[in-house]
Structure 1
Amino acid sequence: MSTPRFEPLGDDALLVRFGERIEAETNAQVHTLAARLRDRSPPWLRDLVPAYASLAVFFDTDHAPASDAHAVVRESVEALLADPSSRSVGDTGLHEIPVCYGGEYGEDLIDAAQTLGCDTASLIARHSAPVYTVAMIGFAPGFPYLLGLDPALALPRLATPCTRVPAGSVAIGGAQAGIYPRESPGGWRLLGRTPAMLFDAGRAQPALLQPGDRVRFVPIDEATFRHLAASP
């Protein structure tokens, strides 16, 4: 694990920065540290917010001297990073996300295939082949930014964003894949749609996907989509 930089975020948070670029190795370091902190559960820990190359650590100042809280937390994090006994992190869950590709469910699929110089079947096969990692949650509650997209499938965002992207839309934006958890504006290329509910405020854990989780897309037909969408 590379040596991170530490930056204060207000009075009750510390940013642990491992790099500046979107890279799978750097993101894995972020999630490894987050998993270790959750496992140790120090009394000062309030929340963790992973991003692509950094981890925001929120702490309770009641459990650290107010005048030196950032230093106390930093020392704890540095000790954890240096502890060889805490280096193993178990595999996170694998979520299989059903996706109906193309047609009314993925209006940009044909254009995306033409831009990439392949047919739609090849694009679907290559898009659904990898196991992705949820690099972080952002943009909207439950929106997963996914690392693992085949580099050959990278596509620029739309020149003119859509004012209405349906909930469950599975999309490509640059070198990333993502899923829109609810209807919203958006500028990513829409390849398909999932009937899975990515965010439900009524659930004990509202977001279906968590940072560090693994995701595999499973192609389904329209009849299966409608059946799954109608299921409770």
Structure 2
Amino acid sequence: MQTPRFLPCGDSALTVEFGSAIDPGLNGKVLALDSLLRANPPAGLIETVPTYRSLTLQFDPTTTDYDALIRLLEEATVGLQPQAAMGTRWRVPVVYGGEYGVDLDDVAERHGLAPSRLIELHSAAVYRIYMIGFIPGFAYLGGLDPRIATSRRTQPRLKVPCGSIMIGGEQAGIVPMEMPSGWHLLGRTPVLSYAPGRDPAFLFAAGDEIVFDPIDASRWNDLERAALAGEPVAEPVQA
């Protein structure tokens, strides 16, 4: 079993790195350590930030220091067992193709698939949210069917619409606000994964799961109005 690496991040943060791959087992260790520290926060801990394979700790250097936290973390990670994704499974409605997913046909052709088959493969998976990052609320998803994994675009777009459902390499993502991206746009959801005036502002969290529900474009306007009015559009479902 690989020994965790402890990496300094300036004078008020450090990272515990469990490996170098997109792997549920590594991410499970990240979630396990995150849960442990949240349940029993050491003195001086300000925030924890889980990622695919590492956990970053921000701390108050006037209360604790790097060496003290390393000693605590070395003990905490001995025999640490991966934690299963214990978050919410969300059903997210998606309009695929056309103006909502301008790259769908091109990605399907690249893989020798009919667009309808690409939609089937994309929406059949259960995606794990490995991390939230890049911009507020952006959900990095693992679990993409390898048959439709697609290298990123050579020319990124400067503006991708809020709610875009994208793939890039072996990853998938949900866009929380207009942003630049070189990923491929397969569809769009009216779900607002980030809404600053909402409580909570972030709908999804690391450890949650996503299943995509293909819907007809005729439903878009009603669902978008509901989402903007603060009504629930993504539904929690039983695993």
With normalisation by structure 1, the TM-score equals 0.90
Question: Partner residue of 1:29?
Answer: 29
CA RMSD of aligned residues (A): 1.9
* Number of residues of Structure 1 aligned to a counterpart in Structure 2: 227
Question: Partner residue of 1:38?
Answer: 38
- Distance (Å, rounded) in 1 between the aligned partners of 2:213 and 2:97: 14
CA 1:204/1:61 → structure 2, altered by over 3 Å: closer, same or farther?
farther
Question: What residue ranges of structure 2 are gaps of 5+ in the alignment?
Answer: 230-239
- Percent identity over the alignment is 43
Question: Partner residue of 1:54?
Answer: 54
Question: Partner residue of 1:9?
Answer: 9
Query: How far did residue 56 of structure 1 move?
Result: 0.6
CA 1:89/1:120 → structure 2, altered by over 3 Å: closer, same or farther?
closer
CA 1:89/1:164 → structure 2, altered by over 3 Å: closer, same or farther?
closer
Tell me whether 1-10 or 110-119 shows the greater mean CA deviation: 1-10
Question: Partner residue of 1:71?
Answer: 67
Query: How far did residue 2 of structure 1 move?
Result: 4.2
Tell me whether 31-40 or 100-109 shows the greater mean CA deviation: 31-40
Question: What residue ranges of structure 1 are gaps of 5+ in the alignment?
Answer: none
Question: Partner residue of 2:191?
Answer: 196
Q: CA offsets, 1:64-118, max 9 Å, x none?
A: 2xxxx1121122222222377x876671111211111111100111111111111
Tell me whether 20-29 or 51-60 shows the greater mean CA deviation: 20-29
Q: CA offsets, 1:160-189, max 9 Å, x none?
A: 112221110000001100011111221111
- Distance (Å, rounded) in 1 between the aligned partners of 2:59 and 2:67: 12
Which residue identity does 2:149 align to in structure 1?
Answer: A
CA 1:88/1:155 → structure 2, altered by over 3 Å: closer, same or farther?
closer
With normalisation by structure 2, the TM-score equals 0.88
- Distance (Å, rounded) in 1 between the aligned partners of 2:198 and 2:131: 20
Superposition map of 1:50-129 within 5 A: 50-64=50-64, 69-82=65-78, 91-129=86-124
- Distance (Å, rounded) in 1 between the aligned partners of 2:42 and 2:87: 21
Q: CA offsets, 1:11-37, max 9 Å, x none?
A: 111110111233332222212211221
- Distance (Å, rounded) in 1 between the aligned partners of 2:85 and 2:150: 33
